[in-house]
Every structure is written in C-alpha cells, then in structure tokens.
C-alpha cells in the first residue's frame, strides 16, 4: 500500500544519504576531496532529494561510487603514467553533476518527467567519460586524437582508444539501465545509453581540439557535454516515443 511504499522510500533515501556521507568523510580524511567538494555535493544532493527522493539520487550515487572506484583502480600504474587524479574540488563536482542538477531544478519548477530522462542522460555521459578515461588509461592501447587519429601519449586530453570506447558504453549502460527499473522501457533505455556515449565522444572531440588550444578547460567541457548528453536523451525520447 501507499504507506508501506512511503516508508520504504524514506528508508532507502536515508541509506543512500548515509552512504554518501560516509564516503565523503572517508575521501576527505584521505585528502581525495576538499571542503568545497563536500559543500557542492551536499548542495546538489539537496536539489535531487527535493526533486524526488531516491529516484533522483540513485543515479548520482552510482556515478559517485562507481567513478570513485574506477579512479582508485590501478592507482600505482596511473601514478607511473602520470595520469593519477589530484584532489577533487567543487569544480569537479559542478562539472560532472551540474547538468543533472539543472534538469532536477527544471523538474521541480515544471513537474515534467522528461527532465528525469535528461538528468539520467547527463549522468550517463559523466559515467561514460569517467569509465573511458579511468579504465581506458589502464587497459587502452595506442591512444589517438578522435578528430585526426594522430597517435598521442596516455593521458592526453581528448585521446581515445578502442578499449576506452567499450568502457564508455559500459559506463553509460550502468546508469541508463535505471530507466528500465523505473518502467521507462527498453527504447528510452537505448536512447539514454547512446546519448551518454555521444556526450562522451563530444567530450573527447572538444578535448582534442579546443582544450589542446587552451580555449576551454576540462571542467567546462564536462559541463557542456553532460548537458549535451541530457538534451539528446530528452529530445530523442520526445520525438521517438
């Protein structure tokens, strides 16, 4: 009944919030994030909770946990390659979560569920990019620029590998699968999966061109491409379904 569902929702949301809080505390103590990252995460989290509790927060939670695990995977090898991530700040949080937050605010203001698809598309893009980067740097071979296929060194902004493409699809799939769980069907799931992958490819294209020319930085690219992934998911869902 409605009462039991509400209780389960409160318990699930509480568990997710507690887990995120614990991970943030651990990361801060290990000097992986600074205080500004905690503040930004809390602010964005409050907006997700306001939009719809666990339904809105579970995708960012999976990205937060999955992305952290991928970042710490094979850290010694990444350190030797010179590609290990430095301490995360509010800029990292805003770049990866800002687009989804915008879609959540749009939902709060309009009540239109299409913005939930946009939010998932944005996070799918962030997950695809993180997976392609963190796992591709470890397992990828022969990195090249996406726009001209020029061979470059591991860790070069905008570099891609065949292995990285597969990891990008894997990351986008993990997030997009939530749409099936919430009853959106396989069609919209596929749209969101491909939107996340497309956003990731746009990230690589901007990284290999504008970022190499110092006209834009990685945080700006992440925000732009997550917005793009979200909008593609929304527009395709409207016209195709």
Check pLDDT > 80 for residue 85: no
**Predicted TM-score (pTM) above 0.85:** yes
CB–CB of 189/176 below 8 Å? yes
Q: Which residue, chain included where needed, has tokens 């719809």? A: 52
Beta bridge partners of 151: 144
Encode pLDDT of 157-177 as tens digits: 889 999 999 999 999 999 999
Higher pLDDT, residue 9 or 84: 9
CB–CB of 122/227 below 8 Å? yes
CA–CA distance, 26 with 102 (Å, rounded to integer): 28
CB–CB of 203/222 below 8 Å? yes
- Joined together, the tokens standing for residue 19 give 């887990």
Encode pLDDT of 150-161 as tens digits: 999 888 888 999
What count of Cα atoms within 13 Å lies in the side-chain half-sphere of residue 64? 24
């Amino acid at each position: 009944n409605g009462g039991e569902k509400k209780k389960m929702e409160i318990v699930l949301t509480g568990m997710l919030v507690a887990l995120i809080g614990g991970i943030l505390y651990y990361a801060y103590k290990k000097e992986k994030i600074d205080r500004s990252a905690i503040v930004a995460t809390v602010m964005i989290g409050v907006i997700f909770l306001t939009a719809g509790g666990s339904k809105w927060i579970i995708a960012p939670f999976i990205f937060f946990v999955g992305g952290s695990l991928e970042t710490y995977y094979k850290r010694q090898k990444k350190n030797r390659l010179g590609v290990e991530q430095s301490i995360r700040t509010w800029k990292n949080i805003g770049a990866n979560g800002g687009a989804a937050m915008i879609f959540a605010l749009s939902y709060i203001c309009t009540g239109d569920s299409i913005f939930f698809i946009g939010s998932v598309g944005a996070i799918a893009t962030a997950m695809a990019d993180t997976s392609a980067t963190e796992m591709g740097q470890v397992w990828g071979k022969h990195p090249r620029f996406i726009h001209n296929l020029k061979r470059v060194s591991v860790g070069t902004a905008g570099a891609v590998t065949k292995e990285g493409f597969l990891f990008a699809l894997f990351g986008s799939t993990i997030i997009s699968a939530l749409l099936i769980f919430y009853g959106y069907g396989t069609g919209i799931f596929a749209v969101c999966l491909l939107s996340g992958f497309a956003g990731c490819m746009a990230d690589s294209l901007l990284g290999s061109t504008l970022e190499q020319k110092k006209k834009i930085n990685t945080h700006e690219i992440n925000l732009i491409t997550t917005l793009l992934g979200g909008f593609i998911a929304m527009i395709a869902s409207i016209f195709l379904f």
